[in-house]
Amino acid sequence: EVLRKLDALGVRISVDDFGTGYSSLSYLQRFPVHTLKVDKSFVDSLGGGGDATMVQIIVGLAHTLKMEVVAEGIEKPEQLAHLKQLGCEFGQGYLFSKPVEVDAAVEMLRSGKRF
């Protein structure tokens, strides 16, 4: 009920580390989820000849359910290229920036830097 109220207020809800731990397909039906976050353990396999199957499945599932996808832990340009090819809309990781304070993050967003 709390998630539905947040959704009604316009809060976007993400399932973090999708495909690992306690994440479940049932969450996608029970809760108003907007975004799936692909766990770094799956991203690590990209760009180095590893298996992209799980990332491809997660991206496809999210898009079928009209959700966006965020890939976590992007460290190499090859991973980013592969994620773009798979249709992943968003990413985070050291390739873009080390963790920064709020003011630095706001400045990065204002600068409009694109990858």
Closest CA relative to residue 55, chosen from 79, 31, 32: 79
Closest CA relative to residue 34, chosen from 3, 72, 74, 57: 3
The catalytic residue among 1, 72, 78, 89 is: 72
| 36's tokens | 């799936």
Sheet holding 14-18, edge to edge: 14-18, 35-38, 68-71, 90-91
107 catalytic? Reply is no
Catalytic residues: 72
